[in-house]
Chain A
Amino acid sequence: MAQRQSFQIGTGLFIVLGFLALGYLATQTTSLANYRQGDSYTLKVEYTNIGQLKLRAPVKLAGVRVGIVSSIELEPEKLQALVKMSIDKRFNQIPDDSTAAIFTSGLLGDQYVAIQPGGSPEMFKDGDQFVLLQNSMQLEELIGKYLLGGDSAKKADAAPDKAAAPANDAAPDKAAAKPNIAAPDKPAQKK
């Protein structure tokens, strides 16, 4: 009987150890670890292009993770992407003229939202929306700008057989450039 008890204890220990290991792997080493979030508040941004930004992508301030992207949806009437971020309550000292930019970690890494703090004495509150923003950089657009330069007429001469293509290329160029310029005029409206 004593021997039987000892192997039952051994079996019990083994099973408990096994499930502890599974729990450890599942909660500490996977994306579940990022769900551990205390109280948080929501901030919104409207982007014209979010690139490869995904749900639960990190939101960073000065490179430090302060929250996650909690929802991404398209606003049907504005045709813009509304990105909601839930920011940890501990970081409630973000000035309301901060910029929310979509950056890429490393050259080929995942995209994340980087908050660049402004200087306003007013802080963001729950549900506030960023007025200053920077859309996702599209590598193709950047390369396109480089290759095609600003002078589309010269290029059209150089490649007359692709006459249709430059016209198409030029339009997104301007569209891409526009939001970056357009962004600062929004705070002007606010004033």
Chain B
Amino acid sequence: MSAVRKPLSPFTGGLEQIGACGLFLVQILRAVPRSFRHFAETVRQIFFVGAMSLVIIMTCGLFVGAVLGLQLYDVLSRFGSSAMSGTVVAFALYRELGPVVTALLFAGRAGTSITAEIGLMRATDQLDAMEMMAVDPIAYVVAPRFLAGLIAMPLLACIFNALAILGAHMVCVSWLGLDNGTFWSNMTSSVDVWIDVANGVWKSIAFGAVVTLIATFQGYTTSPTSEGVAYATTRTVVFSSIATLAIDFVMTAFLM
């Protein structure tokens, strides 16, 4: 990254970013076995990106489920099939909203903090210092965060879904008066474990990988100024949201 290099056109610049990101992923995957030596670090990162995101994930899950229940009950009752509200909520959550909304929240809550942390390490030369001490920063700093994202994301998505179902139940059954048995039995008779629930889990694993890859990459390659860290953090949110939604479309097409 020398300053004398000619500025690239946006197109080649984008290509370069994608290529560098791919090579970075290869580096991370190579470093994963070595990072197991610092497994406590991975656990610490799971705590920071996973356990600390619980509050926002659970609150948002409850509200998303409640609003889905409310909307679908209202719309479906126009067609006389309000009994299917629970089923449609479950389908929408398991297949789409659970993984996607969790990934977007995760990018905002955990992705930005990963980028800012690694970016500041870069800006304050801590990463270089590690290399001087023969500690591979990718194995010690990046890979644990990547693994943590990979592990935390599907768990967060499941918690989001469970809370959302409870939220929908609260609205449809306790508030709008849909029959409790109808709500559950329609859901259990149509939702399939391997088609619907597992679908969402695969998606959320992929999203976890993509969001943390983008977050660590942006942090690792940030220009070492406070402005650079600010840009990198913004780019993390923008790119991981776009990547999440684009991959969601591709994966949905494949998992159908």
Q: Which A positions have Cβ atoms within 8 angstroms of B?
A: 4, 7-8, 10-11, 13-15, 17-19, 21-22, 24-26, 28-34, 58, 65, 106, 110
Q: Does B156 contact A (CB under 8 A)?
A: yes
Are the C-beta atoms of A19 and B51 separated by less than 8 Å?
no
Cα–Cα distance between A7 and B43 once the two chains are bound (Å): 8
Closest 6 CB pairs of A and B: A18-B155, A14-B51, A21-B158, A21-B162, A33-B188, A22-B158
Query: Among B12-20, B193-201, B221-229, which stretch is in contact with chain A?
Result: B193-201
The answer to whether A34 touches B155, judged by C-beta atoms less than 8 angstroms apart, is: no
B50 and A11 within 8 A (CB) = yes
Tell me whether B51 and A21 are in contact (CB under 8 A).
no
Q: Is B54 an interface residue (CB 8 A)?
A: yes
> Is the beta-carbon distance between A19 and B155 smaller than 8 angstroms?
yes
Judge whether B36 is part of the interface by a CB distance below 8 angstroms. Answer: no
Interface size on B (CB < 8 Å)? 33
**Residues of chain B contacted by A8 (CB below 8 angstroms):** 43, 47
B191 in the interface (beta carbon within 8 A): yes
Question: Is the Cβ of B158 less than 8 Å from the Cβ of A30?
Answer: no
Residues of B within 8 A of A7 (CB): 43-44, 47, 51
List, in ascending order, chain A residues with CB within 8 A of B196's CB: 30
Chain A residues contacting B43 (CB-CB under 8 Å) are: 7-8, 11
- The A interface is mostly helix, strand or loop, or mixed, namely helix
A-B contact list, 25 entries, CB within 8 Å = A7-B47, A7-B51, A8-B47, A10-B51, A13-B51, A15-B46, A15-B50, A15-B155, A17-B155, A18-B50, A18-B155, A24-B162, A25-B158, A25-B162, A25-B197, A26-B193, A26-B197, A29-B165, A29-B184, A30-B191, A30-B193, A30-B196, A31-B193, A33-B188, A34-B189
In the bound assembly, the distance between CA atoms of A72 and B142 in angstroms comes to 54
B50 touches A32 (CB 8 A): no
The answer to whether A25 touches B165 (Cβ under 8 A) is yes
Cβ 8 A contact of A14, one of B54, B154, B189, B201? B54
Closest to B54 in A: A14
How far is the CB of A155 from the nearest CB of chain B, in Å? Answer: 35
Q: Is B161 an interface residue (CB 8 A)?
A: yes
Does residue B130 face the partner (Cβ distance < 8 Å to A)?
no
Docked Cα-Cα span, A173 to B185, in Å, equals 36
What residues of B have a CB within 8 angstroms of the CB of A15 in the complex?
A: 46, 50, 151, 155
Known: A25-B94, A29-B188. A14 touches B155 (CB 8 A): yes
B193 touches A32 (CB 8 A): yes
Give the Cβ gap from A81 to chain B, nearest Cβ, in Å: 21
Q: Say yes or no for B192: interface residue by CB 8 A criterion.
A: yes
Give Cα A172 to B47, complex, Å.
67
**In the complex, B40 has a CB within 8 A of chain A:** yes
Instruction: Identify which of B154, B159, B185, B192 gathers the most chain A CB atoms within 10 Å of its CB.
Output: B159
Min C-beta distance of A63 to chain B, whole Å:
11
